[in-house]
Structure 1
Amino acid sequence: MPGRASPSPSHGETTALVTQVVEELIRRLARDAPQPPAGTVTDARRRALLRLRVLRGVKQAVRHLEDQAARAAAAGGAGYPEIGRAVNMSRQGARRRWPGLISNRTPSPTSPEHRSS
C-alpha cells in the first residue's frame, strides 16, 4: 500500500546494513588515502590502521546521533525507562549516559520560586 510505513528492521538486519555501509566507507577512503612510501608500512597494516581511524570516526558520529535522538525522545515526553529500553540499557544506565536529560521537577504555583513577596 502506498504511504504505508514498512516494519522497522530487526537488530540483526540493522547491524548487517550498518556493517555493509561502514565497509564501503572504508574501501572508498582507502582508495583515496595517500599511499605510504614503498617498504615503510605493509599493505595489511596500513589497511588495519585506516580501518581503525574510520571506525573511531563512525563511533563518534553514532554517539552524537544517539545523543540527538535521546534529546528528541525526552523532548517528546519519553522517560529514562523508555530511552534505556531503546538502547538496551537500564533506566539507571540511561540516566548515567544522559544526566539531566529529563527533569522530574516541574515548579508548581505554590513552590518558593513562584511565590510573591
Structure 2
Amino acid sequence: MDVASPWEPGLTHEQRRKAWLATLSALNSLQAEIAQLTETAASRAVEYGAEYPDIARATGMTPRGARRRWPRLSALLGRTQRNPGADPAPELGTLSAQGRAASTRLDNMLPM
C-alpha cells in the first residue's frame, strides 16, 4: 500500500515512518526551490533599482538584516539600471506587501 499522507488513519508504524520521511523530503525540496526563487527575486529587484531598505521592507527585515541575508547584492547596487517607467516582467503577477499574489490569474504564475 502506497501512503499519500502521514495523517492517513490506520497506518502501521512503518508506513507512518515512511510517510513522514516522504513529507520531509518533499518539504525540503520545496524549501530549496523557494530559496532559489528568493535569491533570484532579490537580485532582479536590485537590477531594477531596489536598494537594501526596499528589500528590507518587502521581506519584513531591517536593512541591516537584508544586508546580512544578501551580502552579494551590494556588488550589484552600483550597476543597476534605473528606469522607473519600465516593467521588467509584465507577464508575471505582483505580490502584495504581505507576499500574497495580487493577481490570481493562472497565466501570471511562474512556470513549474
> Conserved in 2, the CA contact under 8 Å of 1:74 and 1:102?
no
Of stretches 60-69 and 87-96 in structure 1, the one that deviates more from structure 2 is: 87-96
Greater Cα radius of gyration, structure 1 or 2? 1
Counterpart of 1:26? none
Q: Greater share of helix residues, 1 or 2?
A: 1
d(CA) in 1 for partners of 2:57, 2:32: 21
For the pair 1:42 / 2:42, whether they are aligned, the reply is: no
Counterpart-to-counterpart distance in 1, 2:78 and 2:37: 27
**Matching residue of 1:101:** 73
Matched, 1:60 2:32: yes
Number of paired residues?
70
Runs in 1 of length 4+ with deviation above 2 angstroms? 102-106
Q: What is the match of residue 62 of structure 2?
A: 90
- Partner amino acid, structure 2, of 1:82: D
AA matched with 2:50: A
Equivalent in the alignment of 2:52: 80
CA contact 1:84–1:90 (8 Å) conserved in 2: yes
Identity in percent: 35
Q: Can you give the 5+ residue segments of structure 2 that lack an aligned partner in the other structure?
A: 5-11, 80-112
Shift of 1:72: 0.3
Compute the RMSD of aligned alpha carbons: 2.4
The 8 Å contact of residues 71 and 101 in structure 1, kept in 2 or not, is answered as yes
CA offsets per residue over residues 83-117 of structure 1, 9 Å max, x none?
111111111111111103034668xxxxxxxxxxx
Question: Under a length normalisation based on structure 1, what TM-score does the superposition of the two structures give?
Answer: 0.52
Q: Cα distance 1:78–1:105, how it changes in 2: closer, same or farther (>3 A)?
A: closer
